[in-house]
Amino acid sequence: MAQAISLRISQLVKPQACLEDIFLDILVRVFALIPVGTLSFVLFMIIQKGADTITWQFLTQSPLDGMTHGGIFPCIFGTLAITLLMVLMALPLGVAAAIYLVEFAGPGLFFRVTRAAVNNLAGVPSIVFGLFGVGFFILFIGRNLDKMIQTGLLFGQPCMLWAAATLAVLVLPVIIVSTEEALNAIPQSQRSASLALGATKWQAIWSVVLPQARGGILTGAILSISRGAGETAPILFTGCAYFLPRLPVAKLWGVVPMINPFDQFMELSYHIFIMATQSLDAVKTLPIQYGTTLVLIALTFLLNLTAVLFRIHFRKQMGMVGVQ
C-alpha cells in the first residue's frame, strides 16, 4: 500500500517526457519562428537594398527624367495627406457607431444586423472598396452633387477627397471594433456613478465614458493607419495619379497653404506599384522602388509610434483604472 502511494507521488513529481511531447514542442517553436523570420527577412532585404537610395534629395525632390531619377516627395506628401483625411473621416464615424452599439442599441434585430455588417465589412477585399469608391462616391454622390449645386466637374471626378473616403470605409470596422472593446472595458459602475449624480446619458458618455476610452480609440486609430496607409487598391481608381508636376495644395484665401482635397495626388504604395509594373525601364528604377518601400514602411512605423506614445501618455493621465 505504502509502496503504491509513493509510486504514484513519484509519477506526479516527475512526469516522463515522451518523444511525442518533445517533437510537438519543437514543432510549435518552429511555427512561432515563421512570422519573426519573415518579418526579419523582409526588413533586412529592404533596408539593405533601399538604404543607399535614401538621401536628402530623394526625400525632398520630385521624380525626374520619366521617373528614373529624382525623389519621391510628392508621394510622401500624398500619403500623409490622405492618411490624415482618412482618419478625420473614419474616426468620428467609427466612434459614433461604436457608441451606438455599446451604449444605446438593445439586443434587437437592428443591433444584430449592424454587428454582422461591421464584421463582414472587414472581410471585403480592398479592390472591391476601390470599385465601390468609383461607383458610389465619384459617380453617384460626386456627379449628383455637381448637378445639384452647379459646380461643373468638381466633385464628380477622382480626387483625394473620394480616395480618403474610400479608405475611411475600408478602415471603419477596425475603428468600430477597437472602440467597442474600449467602451465595453469601462466598468458599468462608472456609468452608474455619473448617472446617479444627475448626469444625462449623453453627459455620462461625454464626461466619463469617452475620456476613459481614449486609449482604446487611439488604438483603433493606430490600427486604421496601419491598414489604410499602405493600401493601393482602394485609391487606384479614386484619385491617385501616375505623376503630378505639382503638389495637391491650395492656398486658402490666397495665403494659407492647405491640402486640396479636390486635387489628385501621388502615393507611396501606388508609386511602388507603377514603378514595378508600368515603368519603361523597371530595372533602372529598382533602387527607387526599394527606397520608396523603405520610406513607406518607415512612415507607417512612425505614425504607429506616435499613436502608441499618445496612448501611453493617456494611460498615465488616467491613473490606474479603465485602461486596457
Binding residues vs other proteins (CB under 8 A): 106, 187, 189-200, 203, 207-208, 212, 318-322
DSSP 3-state assignment of 123?
A: coil
Enclosing H/E stretch for 259: strand 256-259
Nearer to other proteins, 19 or 321 (CB): 321
Nearer to other proteins, 123 or 198 (CB): 198
Nearest to 162 by CA among 250, 248, 95: 248
Cβ 190 to other proteins, closest distance in Å?
A: 6
CA 211 to CA 205: how far, in whole Å? 9
Nearer to other proteins, 130 or 215 (CB): 215
CA 169 to CA 129: how far, in whole Å? 8
Nearer to other proteins, 255 or 320 (CB): 320
Cβ 172 to other proteins, closest distance in Å?
A: 27
Cβ 20 to other proteins, closest distance in Å?
A: 48
Cβ 217 to other proteins, closest distance in Å?
A: 15
Beta bridge partners of 188: none
Cβ 96 to other proteins, closest distance in Å?
A: 21
Query: Looking at residue 240, what DSSP letter applies?
Result: B
Query: Looking at residue 100, what DSSP letter applies?
Result: I
Nearer to other proteins, 106 or 152 (CB): 106
- How many residues belong to the chain? 324
Nearest to 103 by CA among 208, 219, 196, 173: 208
Burial of 256 (0-12, 13-18, 19+ CB in 10 A): exposed
Nearer to other proteins, 244 or 318 (CB): 318
Residue that the C-alpha cell 482618419 belongs to: 87
Q: How large is the greatest C-alpha to C-alpha distance in the chain, in angstroms? A: 98
DSSP 3-state assignment of 226?
A: helix
- Is the separation of the CB atoms in 216 and 230 below 8 Å? no
Cβ 311 to other proteins, closest distance in Å?
A: 15
Nearer to other proteins, 203 or 278 (CB): 203
Cβ 111 to other proteins, closest distance in Å?
A: 12
